[in-house]
Amino acid sequence: MKAKITLKDIARELEVSISTVSKALKNSEEISRDTKEKVQAFAKLYNYKPNNIAISLKNKRTKNIGVVIPDIVHHFFTTVIRGIEKYANARGYNVIVCLSEESFDKEVINMEMLANGSIDGFIMSLSSETQQKGDFNHLKEVTEQGIPVVLFDRITNEIDCDKVIIDDELGAYMATKKFIEQGKKNIALITTDDYLSVSKARTMGYIRALEESDLGVDESKVLKLPSMEMDEKSIKKFMDSQELDAVLCVNEIFAVYSMRLAQQKGLKIPEDISFIGFTDGLLSKYANPSLTVVSQHGERMGEVSAKMLIDQVESEEEEETYQTKILEPTLVIRDSIFH
Amino acid sequence: MKAKITLKDIARELEVSISTVSKALKNSEEISRDTKEKVQAFAKLYNYKPNNIAISLKNKRTKNIGVVIPDIVHHFFTTVIRGIEKYANARGYNVIVCLSEESFDKEVINMEMLANGSIDGFIMSLSSETQQKGDFNHLKEVTEQGIPVVLFDRITNEIDCDKVIIDDELGAYMATKKFIEQGKKNIALITTDDYLSVSKARTMGYIRALEESDLGVDESKVLKLPSMEMDEKSIKKFMDSQELDAVLCVNEIFAVYSMRLAQQKGLKIPEDISFIGFTDGLLSKYANPSLTVVSQHGERMGEVSAKMLIDQVESEEEEETYQTKILEPTLVIRDSIFH
DNA sequence: TATTAACACGAAACCGTTTTCGTGATGCAT
DNA sequence: ATGCATCACGAAAACGGTTTCGTGTTAATA
């Protein structure tokens, strides 16, 4: 086992001072050509690499960014992470991922763990429990300490920081309007409780599209599940209870599952009943029929979030001016609706 | 903005030395009751939290573990990460995720970045390019430096370290045998080139099951794709070229896609043709019909890997005895085969 | 020859902890 | 009064770097 070599080792071996070695490796003007060559050759030979921790301690920059998300086994979050990772890596940053698993306590613990010097900034999406409680003190504390935070997708207006979201209202509006244009009359919405910021916005888009049309809103055609967790029973009951010819779902799982229910009843998709979901994941692509979705562009969202965060981390002046980027959703047309 | 408070700040404020503060906060016997109370109260009031970086530098432990995987938008890896994250977090570790994106170079760069003090150990699954090249020097360097490594799923025998895999050979064997028991005669395999350790093992299991039966192996019934990337054309061509009544696929995407091809030809699943895939993801669960799969128990794999790594990191003696844990795969029966 | 600038390097502080060791003060026994 | 523990605390080194500033040597200049 060859242990890592340090500046001190090089200095001792070459009989110069640590400072000389440090400067020589940085090609400082101060050091003579001779010494520099000697030091650099020696360093290369023994594969010297500076210790990241020591550097972090010195310049109070870790080059790590903390990502706190509710769940990783969810296609949307996965793509966001990928976007963050790609962008951050390109700028020399590493990504520390923490999962809150939709729990407020875990979110708090994770943030506290990372806030003590481990990271330069946070990118996060709130857990459902946090959004439900409306308690954002952990975020406040962190921002007050001057640690930059970027909130994405599941955000709150109570915290002053950069934010990245897609226009969920618009996404749902576009989807619903599509149904209307295709002559659908009984358009349902399967969503979750309003405390989830995204669900609330989507519901609003659905309502706006219907109100702009002759159809109007029928409350009984809206199913609000308590969470994003799959709840087969409630969906089945809802789907069985009425005649529908179009269903908008707040995620792809709900959509694919309800498609199957419809098929079991002998309905033809999209002729008898059409479906649109949110999240452009594998499921939508490979479902049968393939599912039309509102794409949230997770990877893009990740990149944008990472850019905003790193720009802030690296900016000297602490700018008290935060922005909210709103990404446009797009409809990815597949076989679950008419082309 | 309230800046973080340090030991030095407390010391200055309370007019004691830094060492006294440090000891007082650790409830050292050395310090008088009075002083301890004073210091602890002050620390609490100003919400003192020790700086992780400084501690890392001091005791050469970061409490971070590096996870390097080829891809994150893949259900299996996602579940592994979740397993790692849960276990590691419970033991006070954070997880730094790096994606190699199946590239050898990125794998190397990521490892080098992390190996300079940022982490206490690695958990990784090799990129396909690395397995193809057979170049493992980056792993050798790291292990020679005394940094513990745990390899999972995509492993190599050229490196001495702990490993966690599932018995891929057995999984494919079980699946193929299932087909045979159900009277299937023309059993195909859609897999990838043998350089991927998992594909090779799965192919061997498939072959063993067939050889043990009366059927024997028919090379033309095996499709070897160049990588795990989806290649619709090749699969379509393969499926069209012959009469099959069962297909084993090396992942769930290939399986779901070929199911759809079969359905388009008017075949009934599972009566005319049955399917089994690897990876128990969302796709399998919500496909139509739902897909029978060989479950790799990713989350378990993640937990086991994390446990092995952390145990090694925390063990004083550097044990030169490495183990390979082989997890048993299980068949998750769904509607793509007879129940 | 005396002055001075340039050169090449080292000493030391610093980042925020932990930990070892030393020491002044106190109290007790002799 | 003297010796000796014990107590309560501080000084300083260490982790591995970066950076400022000081300094001895040499060579050029007056």
Q: Using the CB atom, is residue B10 less than 7 Å from strand C? A: no
How distant, in Å, are the alpha carbons of B175, B186, B198, B226, B255 from that of B223? 17, 14, 15, 10, 13
Cα dihedral: A20, A25, A26, A27 (round 10)? 90
Nucleotide nearest to A28 (CA to C1'): C8
pLDDT of residue A187: 98
Touching check for B257 and chain A: CB below 8 Å?
Answer: yes
Return the beta strands (E) in chain B as ranges: 64-69, 94-99, 121-124, 149-152, 162-166, 187-192, 222-225, 246-249, 274-278, 292-295, 324-327, 330-332
Mutate to test the interface with B, among A61, A73, A284 (most CBs of B within 10 A): A73
Rounded to whole angstroms, the distance from the CA of residue A109 to the C1' of nucleotide C9 is 49
pLDDT of residue A317: 67
Residue A97: enclosing H or E segment and its boundaries? strand A94-99
pLDDT of residue B318: 67
Report the gap between the CA of B68 and the closest CA in chain A (Å): 11
Evaluate if residue B320 carries a pLDDT over 80.
no
Sign of CA dihedral B205, B209, B211, B216: negative
Phi and psi, residue B164, nearest 5°: -135, 120
Q: Which of B331, B303, B319 is nearest to B65 (CA)?
A: B303
pLDDT of residue B155: 96
CB-based contacts of A169, cutoff 8 Å, min separation 6: A201, A202, A204, A205, A208
Q: pLDDT class for B2, splitting at 50, 70, 90? A: confident
Structure tokens that stand for B181 in this block: 């028991």
Work out the number of other CB atoms within 10 angstroms of the CB of residue B4.
18
Categorise residue A302: left if φ over 0, alpha if ψ from -120 to 50, beta otherwise: alpha
pLDDT of residue B317: 67
Nucleotide nearest to A4 (CA to C1'): D16
**B81-90 tens-digit pLDDT:** 999 999 999 9
CB-based contacts of A240, cutoff 8 Å, min separation 6: A261
Cα dihedral: B153, B156, B157, B163 (round 10)? -30
Structure tokens that stand for A246 in this block: 């179009």
| Residue A94, burial from CB neighbour count under 10 angstroms (0-12, 13-18, 19+) | buried
Return the beta strands (E) in B121-230 as ranges: 121-124, 149-152, 162-166, 187-192, 222-225
Report the alpha-carbon distance of residue A199 to residue A206 in Å, rounded: 11
Fill in the DSSP letter of residue B335.
Answer: T
What residues of B are in contact with residue A119 (Cβ under 8 Å)? Answer: none
Q: Using the CB atom, is residue A26 less than 7 Å from strand D? A: yes
How distant, in Å, are the alpha carbons of A19, A40, B93, B137 from that of A44? 18, 6, 33, 17
Q: Which of B186, B183, B164, B202 is nearest to B279 (CA)?
A: B202
Helix (H, G, I), strand (E, B) or coil at B293: strand
Structure tokens that stand for A72 in this block: 């990783």
CB-based contacts of B291, cutoff 8 Å, min separation 6: B252, B255, B256, B259, B275, B276, B277, B283, B284, B285, B334, B335, B336
CB contact at 8 A, B188 and B240:
no
Q: What is the DSSP string of A23-81?
A: HHHTT-TTS-HHHHHHHHHHHHHTT----HHHHHHHHT---EEEEEES-SSSHHHHHHH
CB-based contacts of B226, cutoff 8 Å, min separation 6: B192, B193
How distant, in Å, are the alpha carbons of A125, A129, A136 from that of A156? 10, 13, 9
CB contact at 8 A, A260 and A230:
no
Mean pLDDT, chain B, integer: 95
Report the alpha-carbon distance of residue B283 to residue B154 in Å, rounded: 22
Work out the number of other CB atoms within 10 angstroms of the CB of residue B194.
13
Residue A28 or residue B320, greater confidence? A28
Rounded to whole angstroms, the distance from the CA of residue A57 to the C1' of nucleotide C25 is 38
Q: Nearest 5°: CA angle at B115, between B110 and B119?
A: 100
What residues of A are in contact with residue B275 (Cβ under 8 Å)? Answer: none
B96 and A99 within 8 Å at the Cβ level: the answer is no
Please state the three-class secondary structure of A202-249 as a single string.
HHHHHHHHHHHCCCCCCHHHEEEECCCCCCHHHHHHHHHCCCCCEEEE
What residues of A are in contact with residue B116 (Cβ under 8 Å)? Answer: 4, 49-52
Rounded to whole angstroms, the distance from the CA of residue B19 to the C1' of nucleotide C27 is 26
Which domains, and CATH codes, for chain A?
Answer: 7-50 (no CATH), 62-165+298-327 (3.40.50.2300), 168-296 (3.40.50.2300)
Q: Which residues pair with B27 in a beta bridge?
A: none
Rounded to whole angstroms, the distance from the CA of residue A145 to the C1' of nucleotide C10 is 38
> What percent of chain B is modeled with pLDDT above 90?
93
Rounded to whole angstroms, the distance from the CA of residue A309 to the C1' of nucleotide D17 is 26
List, as ranges, residues 287-316 from B with C-beta within 8 Å of A: 287-288
pLDDT of residue B324: 97
pLDDT of residue B3: 83
Residues of chain A with pLDDT under 50: none
Report the alpha-carbon distance of residue A160 to residue A149 in Å, rounded: 9
Q: Using the CB atom, is residue A23 less than 7 Å from strand D? A: yes
Nucleotides of D under 7 A from a protein CB: 7-12, 14-21
**B125-171 tens-digit pLDDT:** 999 999 999 999 999 999 999 999 999 999 999 999 999 999 999 99
Mutate to test the interface with A, among B93, B288, B320, B335 (most CBs of A within 10 A): B288
pLDDT of residue A42: 97
A62 closest CB neighbour out of B53, B144, B282: B53
Q: pLDDT class for B30, splitting at 50, 70, 90? A: very high
Helix (H, G, I), strand (E, B) or coil at B38: helix
Structure tokens that stand for B14 in this block: 């309370």
Average pLDDT over residues B66-80: 95
**B229-257 tens-digit pLDDT:** 899 999 999 999 999 999 999 999 999 99
pLDDT of residue A167: 97
**B95-122 tens-digit pLDDT:** 999 999 999 999 999 999 999 999 999 9
Report the alpha-carbon distance of residue B173 to residue A97 in Å, rounded: 36
Q: What residue in A sits closest to B282 (Cα-Cα)?
A: A283
Q: Using the CB atom, is residue A157 less than 7 Å from strand D? A: no
- Token match 């490495």: residue? B322
pLDDT of residue B92: 96
- Token match 């594969």: residue? A47
Nucleotides of C under 7 A from a protein CB: 7-12, 14-21
Average pLDDT over residues B263-290: 94
Helix-helix angle A168-181:A197-212, to 10 degrees: 40
What residues of A are in contact with residue B95 (Cβ under 8 Å)? Answer: 96-98
Touching check for A79 and chain B: CB below 8 Å?
Answer: yes
Report the alpha-carbon distance of residue A160 to residue A145 in Å, rounded: 13
For chains A and B, CB pairs below 8 A equal: 149
Residue B264: enclosing H or E segment and its boundaries? helix B252-264
